[in-house]
Structure 1
C-alpha cells in the first residue's frame, strides 16, 4: 500500500483512481501481485512529480501504469519462469467420452475462461492495446504514446488482438478439431516426433506447470516441445479427459499414482496454452478418474 497522506490532495486524487488503475494492471498482467506492484510504482512516480505540471491526472496515471505494465510483459518474455505468481485455477476433471448435452453445456460455460486465457497468448503490445482500448476505452492516440507507436499502429495492434480473442470465442464450434489437435500432440510426444509437436504448437505457446515450488512458465514452441518429449517418457498410462471443459490428458505412473493433469487451449488448430498440474498434493486433492 502506498504511504499516502489522506489530507494531501494529490494522495486523495490518486486514491480515487486506485481501483481503476489496479483493474487495468490486473487485466493486462493477469496477476494480482504484479498489479499491486505496478500501482505502487505509479504512486512513487507521482510523488516525485510536480502536480501542477500534470493537467490530466487520470490520463497521466493510465499512461504510467500502461508503460510499467508493458515493461513487466516484456520482462516475462525474457524471464518467463518468474512471470506468473498467481495460482492456477481449480480444475474439474471428467472422463472425455462421447459428448453429452451436459458436457456441451460445460464447454459453453468454459468459453469465458478461455477468453481470459487467450489474453496470455497475445504479444505485449497487442495485449496492452486491446485491454486499454476495448476494455477500458483509452483512445488510440494515448495508447500509441504509451507504446511509442503511431495512432494507426496502435489501432492495428488492437485489431490483431481482437481477431485472436474472437477466434477463441469460436472454439466451441470446433470441439472435435480441438480433440484431434490434442491427440496429435499426445501421439507426437509419445513417439518422440519433434516436428509433429511443432506442427500443433503455436509459436508463442505458453506452458504453465503447477509444481510443489509454485508455477513454472515456459513460452515458445521449441522449448515446450522439448519438455513434452521428456515428460511423455515418465507417463505409463494416460487417457483423454475434460479439464474445466477444455480437452485434456490425465496420466499415471507405473504404480498407478497420478503423474499430471494437462489442460489445452486450442485456437485455429494450434495449441496456444497448456496448463499442467504436477504437484502431488494438488493432484491428491482433485477428484480424478481411475486409471484405465
Structure 2
C-alpha cells in the first residue's frame, strides 16, 4: 500500500476489523479471544513498514490466521478440563425484526451448532475450511497462511468439509426461523405435546449446560417432553437473537436471567438447541430485557 500516516493506517485497519473478527471467531469460538487476536494483528501492523505491504487485507488475514493457529495449538498442548471452556460465547441481542448488520453480530452469526463441530477439527483443517469455505479465500492464499502448498491446503479443507458435512446449517430465511422459534415457544407455554412434535425435527438434539454438567436429550419426543415443563414454570420466555440467529431468553419472576437457548432451524423445524442455565455461565452473558 502507498505510504500512509498513522491516522490513515488506523482507518484502513478499522475497515478490515469486522471481517477479521469474524474470521477469528470462527477459528477460536470465543468473541474475546477473537478480539484479542485482531488486536495483536494491529500491534504487529504498527511494527511493520505499512508502505511495503501491497495487499493490506491479505496481510492482515495471514497474520490473524497464524495467530489463531498458534492459539489453537496452545489449547491442545494445555487442554481445558472444564466444559465451560468448550462452550462458544453466547452473544444475546434484541430481535427487533431487522437484519443485524453490526460488527459483533457479523462475527457470531455463524451458528453455534457449526462452531461446536469446528472445535473437533485440527487447527490447520479448521483454518483451511474457515478461510476457503466461509470467506472464499483462494487456496494459494490459504497455503501461504499455513506455509503449505495450495494442493495441501485444498486437501485440508476437503477433509474438514467431510467432517462438518452432517452439521445442521441454519435456514437463510430469518423470518421463517422466527416463526419456528415462536411456534416452539407457544407450544411450550401451552404444554402442547403434539404442537411441539410438529415444530421439532425427529432427530433434534438439545444440549443443556447446567450446574450439574452437560445434559443431552435426543429425539423429538424426549425434547418435547422436557419443553412441556415450560407450561408449569413461572418464567418469562421471549425470543431474542443469540449469536445472530433467533433464540430464546428466559427470566424468572423477578427478572433474573435463568436461561438462554440458541436454536438452529433447518427445513422449517428445530434441529438443534444449545442452552445454558448454569448460573456461573449465565453470569458472563449480557442479555437484553428487564
| TM-score, normalised via structure 1 length | 0.51
Corresponding residue number in structure 2 for 1:243 = 242
1:224 equivalent to 2:248? Answer: no
Shift of residue 208 of structure 1?
0.8
* In 1, Cα distance between equivalents of 2:117 and 2:194: 24
Distance change >3 Å, CA 227–CA 287, structure 1 → 2: same
Deviation at 1:255?
Answer: 2.0
Q: Which range moves more in the overlay, 84-93 or 279-288?
A: 84-93
Q: CA deviation at 1:102?
A: 1.4
Compared CA separation, residues 96 and 206, structure 1 to 2 (3 A): same
Query: Which residue number in structure 1 is paired with residue 187 of structure 2?
Result: 188
Classify the secondary structure of the residue corresponding to 1:102.
coil
Task: Could you tell me which runs of 5 or more consecutive residues in structure 2 were left unpaired when the two chains were aligned.
Answer: 1-82, 120-155
Q: Which residue of 2 aligns with 1:94?
A: 93
Counterparts of 1:223 and 1:284, CA distance in 2: 28
Residue 278 of structure 2: aligned partner:
279
1:38-117 → structure 2 map (5 Å cutoff): 87-102=86-101, 106=105, 110-111=109-110, 113-116=112-115
Q: CA deviation at 1:133?
A: 10
1:259 corresponds to 2:258: yes
Residue equivalent to 2:200:
201
Kindly report structure 1 stretches of 4+ aligned residues shifted beyond 4 Å: 116-120
Kindly report the root-mean-square deviation, in angstroms, between the aligned alpha carbons of the 2 structures.
3.3
CA contact (8 A) 1:206 1:220 kept: yes
Contact 1:204 1:220 in 2 (8 A): yes
Secondary structure at the counterpart of residue 209 of structure 1: strand
- 2:181–2:246 contact (8 Å) kept in structure 1: yes
1:132-147 matches, cutoff 5 A? 134-135=158-159
Q: Relative to total residues, which structure has the larger helix share, 1 or 2?
A: 1
Residue deviations 1:237-278 (CA, integer Å, cap 9, x gap): 122111111211111111221121111001111111101110
Q: Distance in 2 between matches of 1:174 and 1:227?
A: 27
SS of 2:263's equivalent?
A: strand
2:149 aligns with none
Indicate conservation of the 8 Å contact 1:185/1:197, yes or no. yes
Q: CA deviation at 1:281?
A: 2.0
Q: 1:192 to 1:277 in 2, by over 3 A?
A: same
Distance 1:118 1:199, change over 3 A: farther
Q: Secondary structure at the match of 1:217?
A: strand
